[in-house]
Amino acid sequence: MSNNPVEIDLENKIKINPESMIIEKLYPIIYDNSVYLFFKDENELINCYEITDKNIIEKAQLNPDKIIEILEELDN
């Protein structure tokens, strides 16, 4: 596994390494034409949210390294 605790493996499955995750940090990933956000909460539980907004998904697919920035723009 690389430095990123959430990644797609060689079998095209999402792999999570919770020990490497920083509490309350978002780990976005594009998988199967969807955007998922993973994070570990203060109780060390892993949470996952799927983004369903097509506009956000399209922007994320065009700029996969800027998913967090794309989401932050929505908050403004």
Distance CA 21, CA 4 (A): 8
> Residue 17 falls within a domain, yes or no?
yes
Q: How many domains is the chain built from?
A: 1
Nearest to 40, CA basis, from 1, 71, 6, 74? 6
- Residue 74 confidence (pLDDT): 87
User: DSSP of 4-64, one letter per residue?
Assistant: SSEEE-TTS-EEE-GGGPPBT--EEEEETTEEEEEEE-TT--EEEEEE--HHHHHHHHH-G
The pLDDT tens digits for 31-40 are 999 999 999 9
Q: Which domain holds residue 24?
A: 6-74
Q: Amino acid identity of 1?
A: M
> Residue 1 falls within a domain, yes or no?
no
Average pLDDT, the chain: 94
The pLDDT tens digits for 50-75 are 999 999 999 999 999 999 999 999 88
> Residue 55 falls within a domain, yes or no?
yes
> Residue 48 falls within a domain, yes or no?
yes
Q: Report percent pLDDT > 90 for the chain.
A: 91
> Residue 14 falls within a domain, yes or no?
yes
